[in-house]
Chain A
Amino acid sequence: MTASPNTQVGEFGQPAPGESFSPGVRAFRKIIRKPSVILSLAFLALIVLLAIFAPLVTRLSGWDPFTYDEAAVDPSSGGLPLAPLGGISAEHWLGVEPQNGRDIFARIAYGARVSLLVGICATAITMLLGVVMGLLAGFFGGIVDAVISRLMDFLMAFPALIFMIAILSALPQGNRPALLVIVLSIFSWPATARVIRAQTMSLANREFVEAARTSGAGWAPLVFREVLPNLSGTIIVMATLAIPNFIATEAGLSFLGVGITPPNPSWGQMIASAVPWYSSDPMFFAIPGILLFLTVFAFTVLGDNLQKIFSGGFE
C-alpha cells in the first residue's frame, strides 16, 4: 500500500517511447500455452464466475452473507466457531465468522463482486482519463501540454494514500463503491497520462503521421486513425496491470476501515476483522488473505505476459 498506484505505474514506462507494438499471433499462441498463464486465467475465471453468480451460488450453499448462525459458534469462548478449521463443514463450505456465525463462503463470493467491480471500474475511468489527457498533452503540446503536465505534477505530488483515507473517512457513506472508484481514479490517471503523453509525442513526429498531416487530415482523424491504434498495446498492458493494483488498494482501504461499509462484505474488510483472530481462528484470517493475494497475483502474471508480447519479448 505504501507503493501508491503512481509508483507501480513507473514500470510501464519501459517500452521505449515511440516503439510501435505489433504482437504476432505466434507470440499469443506461445504465451497462452504457458502453465502460469493457463493457471492464472483459470483462477480468474473461477473468481469472476463466483462474483457474477454470487446470489445463485449462495442459494445453492444455503447461506446468504448476512444471516447470523449463532448455533455455529460458542459464545462462552468469545465466539469461536464450534467446528474445526474455523467451522468448515458441509453446512458452511469455508467456515463461519467467529462471534456471529456468518457464512464465509457467501461473504467471499459477494466480496469478490466488490473487488472486481471497483478494480474494473476504476481501471476503466483511469484509462479513459489518462489516455485522453495524455493524448491532448502529447499531441497538441504548448499551453495544453503545460496545463495538463502541471496538473499531473500536482496530483502526483499528493500523498495519495493519506489523502484518500482522509477524504473517504470524511465523506458521507453514500454509494461507497462509486466513491472508491472516483477517489482511486483521480489519483491514478496521471501515471497513465504520463506514458501516453510521451508515446504520443514521439508518434506525432513519425513519418506516417507527418505524411497524414501534410495530406491535410484534421486532428481528429490523425488522433483516432494514426496515433491511437499505435497506443493500443500500451493501453491493454497498462489496464491489465492496473486492475490488480486497484483491487489491492481497495482491499487496503477497506482494511483500514474506510472502504466498503459493513455489513456488505469486502475482502480487505474481512482481513481487518480477522486480525484479532489470527491465532485462535487462523482460517478466518487466511482465507480472504490468500484469495486476495492469488487474485492480484493472477492479474499481475497476465499483465506481465501481455507486456512481454507487446514489447516484443516473445519474438
Chain B
Amino acid sequence: MISYLLKRFGAAIIIMLFVVFFTLLVFFKLSPDPAASICGQTCTPDRIETIRTQMGLDQPFFAQFFAFLAGIFVGRDYGEGASAIHCGAPCIGYSFQTGQSVLQGIMDRMPVTLTIAIGAAVLWLLTGVAAGVISAVKEGTWWDRGAMAFALAGISLPNYFVALVLQYLLVVQLEWLPFPTAVPFSESPGQWFATYIMPWMVLALMYASMYARLTRTNMIDTMGENFMRTARAKGLKPGPILIRHGLRPSLTPIVTLLGVDFATLLGGALITETVFGLPGIGKFAYDAISVNDQPVIMGVTLVAAFAVVIANIIVDLLYRVLDPRVRVSST
C-alpha cells in the first residue's frame, strides 16, 4: 500500500512538472508580449524593456522554467535592488497587473469557488442519484423514460443559456431572487443563499443529468448480478437489498466521477462564475485571459491541474475501499 502510494505521488509530481513545463512553453512561444499588455497604449519601447526585465521575460526559456520551479520552494524576487518585489514561497507567480501574488489571488477567490462547487455537488448528487435509483427500480415505466429524456435534455442545454434564462426569469421578471452579489454566509445568510442558488441549479442540472444516467445503468447492472439474486433468494427484503447490495456497488463509479468533476470545478466554474459575475477562480482566470495577465493564467492552470491530479489519487484509494470486487490497481 505504501509503495503504491509512493508510486502514485511520484507519477503525480512528474505530471505536474510536465504541466508547468508545457504551460510555460506555450506562453513563451505563442502568447503576445505580456509586458506590452501591461504597458497599454501610452507606452514607450524603454518602458516595455524595463517591464520585461522586471518580470524576468528577458531570460531564456529554461532560465524562466527553473526560476519558476525555484519560486515554488524558496520564493522569488522580481526586479533587483530596492525596487524589487518579493513573492514568498510557495510562489506560483506574481501578477504585475494586479500587484498581487498569484497564490494570494487564488486564495482570495477560493471561498466563492468552494461554495459553488460544494453546493452544486450536493444538489446534483442528491437529485441525480435519487432520479437514477428510481428510474432503475421502475425501469421501463413512463417515470423512467421521462426522467431519462429530461436527463438527456439537461446534458444538451448550453449552461450559459440556462444561466441567463434563469436569471432573466427569477430575478428580472419574477423578482423572486435579488441580483447575485457574493457575500459570505456569516454576513447575510439570506443573501448568500439567494446568490448561490442559481449557480448551483445551473451546474446541478448539467451534472445531475449525467449522474442520473450513470446511477441507473449501474443499478440495473448490479441488480442483475448473481449475488443480488442470491440475496433475494435468501429472502431478504427488497429495501435493504436495494441499499446494501444494489446501491453500494453502483456508487463506486459515481465516486470516481464525483472526485474528478469536483476537482475540475475547483479550477473554477468559469462560465457560471462569469455569467453571474461571481468572483471565483474561474472568473479570475477569465478576466486574466482578457487582459493577458499571464502569471495568473499560469497559476490557475497549475492549481486546477493540481486539484485534478490529487483528486485522481484520492479516488483510486476510495475505489479500493468502497468496492469489494476491486482489489487491483486501476490504472
Which residues of A are at the interface with B, using a C-beta cutoff of 8 A? 1-4, 6-8, 10-11, 13-14, 36, 149-150, 153-154, 156-159, 161-163, 165-167, 169-171, 244, 248, 251-252, 255-256, 268, 271, 275, 278-279, 285, 289, 292-293, 296-297, 300-301, 304
Per-residue A-contact encoding for B235-277, CB less than 8 Å = 1, 0 else: 0000000000000000001001100110011011111101000
- Scoring B257, B264, B292 by chain A CB atoms within 10 A of each residue's CB, the highest score goes to B264
The reply to whether B261 and A153 contact each other, CB–CB distance below 8 Å, is no
Q: Please name the residue on chain B nearest to A168 by beta carbon.
A: B289
Asked, given contacts A159-B267, A162-B301, whether A3 binds B19 with beta carbons under 8 Å apart, the answer is no
Q: Is B1 an interface residue (CB 8 A)?
A: no
CB interface residues, B 64-123, toward A, < 8 Å:
none
Q: Is B35 an interface residue (CB 8 A)?
A: no
Interface of A is mostly: helix
Distance in angstroms from A280 CB to nearest chain B CB is: 12
Distance A4 CA – B307 CA, assembled complex (angstroms): 15
Distance A167 CA – B168 CA, assembled complex (angstroms): 32
The reply to whether A271 and B30 contact each other, CB–CB distance below 8 Å, is no
Which of A14, A159, A275, A289 touches B305 (beta carbons < 8 Å)?
A159
User: Residues of B within 8 Å of A, CB-based: how many?
Assistant: 63
Which of B26, B257, B308 touches A159 (beta carbons < 8 Å)?
B308
Distance A6 CA – B32 CA, assembled complex (angstroms): 29
Question: In the complex, which residues of chain A have a beta carbon less than 8 angstroms from the beta carbon of B168?
Answer: 278-279
Distance A32 CA – B312 CA, assembled complex (angstroms): 40
Distance in angstroms from B306 CB to nearest chain A CB is: 8
Distance in angstroms from A236 CB to nearest chain B CB is: 18
The reply to whether A149 and B331 contact each other, CB–CB distance below 8 Å, is yes
Q: Is B329 an interface residue (CB 8 A)?
A: no
Distance in angstroms from B297 CB to nearest chain A CB is: 5
- Scoring B30, B160, B168 by chain A CB atoms within 10 A of each residue's CB, the highest score goes to B160
26 intermolecular pairs with C-beta atoms under 8 Å apart: A2-B270, A3-B207, A10-B260, A11-B214, A14-B218, A36-B149, A157-B19, A157-B308, A159-B268, A159-B304, A161-B270, A162-B285, A162-B297, A162-B301, A162-B304, A166-B31, A166-B285, A248-B156, A252-B271, A271-B158, A279-B172, A296-B157, A296-B158, A297-B156, A300-B152, A300-B156
Q: Please name the residue on chain A nearest to B308 by beta carbon.
A: A157
Q: Please name the residue on chain A nearest to B217 by beta carbon.
A: A14
> Which of B10-18, B54-62, B130-138, B319-327 contacts the other chain?
B10-18
Distance in angstroms from A67 CB to nearest chain B CB is: 28
The reply to whether B15 and A150 contact each other, CB–CB distance below 8 Å, is yes
Which of A1, A8, A13, A278 touches B159 (beta carbons < 8 Å)?
A1
The reply to whether B261 and A162 contact each other, CB–CB distance below 8 Å, is no
Question: In the complex, which residues of chain A have a beta carbon less than 8 angstroms from the beta carbon of B14?
Answer: 150
Question: In the complex, which residues of chain A have a beta carbon less than 8 angstroms from the beta carbon of B272?
Answer: 2
Distance A300 CA – B148 CA, assembled complex (angstroms): 12
- Beyond contacts A162-B300, A165-B270: 12 other A-B pairs, Cβ-Cβ < 8 A, are A11-B214, A154-B15, A156-B308, A159-B308, A162-B285, A166-B289, A166-B297, A169-B289, A255-B271, A256-B286, A293-B158, A296-B157
Q: Is B43 an interface residue (CB 8 A)?
A: no
Nearest 3 A-B pairs (CB), nearest first? A159-B304, A297-B156, A170-B31
Question: In the complex, which residues of chain A have a beta carbon less than 8 angstroms from the beta carbon of B26?
Answer: 167, 170
Distance in angstroms from A286 CB to nearest chain B CB is: 9
Distance A158 CA – B23 CA, assembled complex (angstroms): 10
Distance in angstroms from A3 CB to nearest chain B CB is: 6
The reply to whether B270 and A162 contact each other, CB–CB distance below 8 Å, is yes
Which residues of B are at the interface with A, using a C-beta cutoff of 8 A? 11, 14-15, 18-19, 22-23, 26-27, 30-32, 149, 152-153, 155-161, 164-165, 168, 172, 203, 206-207, 210, 213-214, 217-218, 253, 256-257, 260-261, 264-265, 267-272, 274, 282, 285-286, 289-290, 292, 297, 300-301, 304-305, 308-309, 312, 331
Which of A7, A167, A251 touches B158 (beta carbons < 8 Å)?
A251
The reply to whether B331 and A170 contact each other, CB–CB distance below 8 Å, is no
Which of A153, A289, A296 touches B15 (beta carbons < 8 Å)?
A153
The reply to whether A157 and B305 contact each other, CB–CB distance below 8 Å, is yes
The reply to whether B152 and A304 contact each other, CB–CB distance below 8 Å, is yes
Q: Please name the residue on chain A nearest to B145 by beta carbon.
A: A36
The reply to whether B160 and A255 contact each other, CB–CB distance below 8 Å, is yes
Distance in angstroms from B130 CB to nearest chain A CB is: 19
The reply to whether A7 and B19 contact each other, CB–CB distance below 8 Å, is no
Q: Please name the residue on chain A nearest to B311 by beta carbon.
A: A157
The reply to whether B264 and A7 contact each other, CB–CB distance below 8 Å, is yes
Q: Please name the residue on chain A nearest to B267 by beta carbon.
A: A159
Which of B32, B165, B285 touches A170 (beta carbons < 8 Å)?
B32
- Scoring A10, A159, A170, A289 by chain B CB atoms within 10 A of each residue's CB, the highest score goes to A159
Question: In the complex, which residues of chain A have a beta carbon less than 8 angstroms from the beta carbon of B290?
Answer: 169
Distance A171 CA – B155 CA, assembled complex (angstroms): 30
Distance in angstroms from A173 CB to nearest chain B CB is: 13
Asked, given contacts A2-B270, A11-B210, A11-B213, whether A157 binds B309 with beta carbons under 8 Å apart, the answer is yes
Distance A224 CA – B213 CA, assembled complex (angstroms): 33
The reply to whether B152 and A8 contact each other, CB–CB distance below 8 Å, is no
The reply to whether A275 and B331 contact each other, CB–CB distance below 8 Å, is no
Distance A170 CA – B36 CA, assembled complex (angstroms): 13
The reply to whether A166 and B261 contact each other, CB–CB distance below 8 Å, is no
Q: Please name the residue on chain A nearest to B116 by beta carbon.
A: A2
Question: In the complex, which residues of chain A have a beta carbon less than 8 angstroms from the beta carbon of B157?
Answer: 293, 296
The reply to whether B257 and A166 contact each other, CB–CB distance below 8 Å, is no
Distance A243 CA – B5 CA, assembled complex (angstroms): 38
Distance A248 CA – B155 CA, assembled complex (angstroms): 10
The reply to whether B309 and A292 contact each other, CB–CB distance below 8 Å, is no
Distance A14 CA – B218 CA, assembled complex (angstroms): 8
